[in-house]
Amino acid sequence: MLFHAMQSNEQLLLAIYGALISYLIFWFIYGFFKLAIKRRGLAQRDIKLVAAYGAWLGVYILPYLMLLSACLGFLYYILLWIKIRYKPDKIAFGTALASAGI
């Protein structure tokens, strides 16, 4: 946020919107899973990591980041299933999110 504040007010505003929107969207997804399935669909760390990426990259990059991280997570699941014949009931989304952010 400090980096964006030194750039311009517009960059700072986009960073704030990115952090706020990404946190709220993933918090609602977390709450929906908790109410509907009675299990956690996301970890709190994933939500915070998405908010950090939203602040760092801005609000316009978030859909691409989410698409890439979902594809990487799906690819990881498929590789586990093909390589070692293991079908996990859940996988860590944080690693796919961190890979997509890099």
Which candidate, 97, 13, 15, places its Cα nearest to that of 50?
A: 97
Residue type, position 81, single letter: W
DSSP string, 26-45: HHHHHHHHHHHTSS-SS-HH
Per-residue pLDDT at 15: 86
Instruction: Give the per-residue pLDDT at 69.
Output: 93
pTM: 0.81
Torsion angle defined by CA atoms of residues 28, 58, 62 and 89, in that order, rounded to the nearest 10 degrees: -60
**DSSP-derived 3-state class of residue 83:** helix
Tell me what pLDDT residue 6 has: 76
pLDDT for res 67: 95
Q: Tell me how far apart the alpha carbons of residues 29 and 42 are, in angstroms, rounded to a whole number.
A: 8
In tens digits, what is the pLDDT along the chain, a chain of 102 residues? 777 777 777 788 888 899 999 999 989 988 998 899 888 778 888 999 999 999 988 888 889 999 999 999 999 888 888 888 777 777 788 889 999 988
Upper half-sphere CA count for residue 77 (Cβ side, 13 Å):
14
